[in-house]
Structure 1
């Protein structure tokens, strides 16, 4: 079953193809829309009235606040030093690494195919350009683009 019983779905959440998503242990806010081929992992939190576009991966440790837009194929990470095995060669387990939290602020927009590295905050009303690789915090109302993402403009009317 692609949507596990431990998912907390808010009121009027719309999942366009429930058999083609993978949701488990996450919280989805009221009136949020989720596209096809999206995975949202345990511990992730999605606010109200968000749009999560197809082919997006939202991992443990990610919080997306209300009214955010997440474009197609956006990838989040949650480990600054990913490894398959420990120093002694055994496969890593949950006790062998630490989740680095990431926050996407209210009314922020992230363009298609952006990659968001862990441990950062994207401020309220910020815009991340398509294909950007975000490696550090983005200020509220800022517009960033490129690899690595850099400020290209600051919007005056960022949400309060």
Structure 2
């Protein structure tokens, strides 16, 4: 990261020097690994970890409690959630979500709280993920269901 992005809020975050952060992002107390790319209009909350070689495309929301391992691709407009029963007042329960190595999440997908997306898994565009996704699975739909298996070279 050679220069501070314009019009961005970056507070208490640890960002690898080899990662690229574009303009107009909000990063609060997160960690971003080596060679990762965070596009404009991405919002990442405190306690989020993003691994090495990840690509986070525009308009992605990543709240506290999310771990994204190495080599993950997240397409535009993906939303992660971290509370199963959100309320405007009172207590809430943080449920942790993990996206395992080499997974890809298609544009506009919504990832529910407390989910594990397996290694090499592929989540189709517009999917609503309400259950764990196994390694190498291809899921799509609302709610997301397994529609195939991903093969990698």
Counterpart in 2 of 1:48? 52
In the alignment, is residue 57 of structure 1 matched against residue 61 of structure 2? yes
Distance 1:11 1:136 in 2: 35
Aligned counterpart, 1:8: 14
Ranges in structure 1 where 5+ consecutive residues have no aligned partner: 86-91
Report how many residues are paired. 147
**Shift of the alpha carbon at 1:33?**
0.2
TM-score by length of 1: 0.88
Which of residues 145, 150, 159 in structure 1 aligns to 2:145? 150
Q: TM-score, normalised by structure 2?
A: 0.92
Distance 1:115 1:38 in 2: 15
Deviation, 1:10, is: 1.3
Choose from 122, 129, 133 the match for 1:127.
Answer: 122
What are the ranges of 5 or more consecutive residues in structure 2 without an aligned counterpart? 1-6
Secondary structure of 2:10 counterpart:
coil
**TM-fit CA distance, 1:115:** 0.1
**2:62 is equivalent to residue 67 of structure 1:** no
1:118 aligns with 2:124: no
> Which structure is larger by alpha-carbon Rg, 1 or 2?
1
In 1, Cα distance between the equivalents of 2:151 and 2:110?
Answer: 25
Superposition misfits of 4+ residues, deviation over 6 angstroms: none
The answer to whether the Cα contact below 8 Å between 2:11 and 2:27 also exists between their aligned partners in 1 is no
Deviation per residue, 1:5-43 (Å, 9 max, x gap): 4100013110121xx110011000111001110000000
Q: CA deviation at 1:44?
A: 0.6
User: What is the CA RMSD across the aligned residues, in angstroms?
Assistant: 1.3
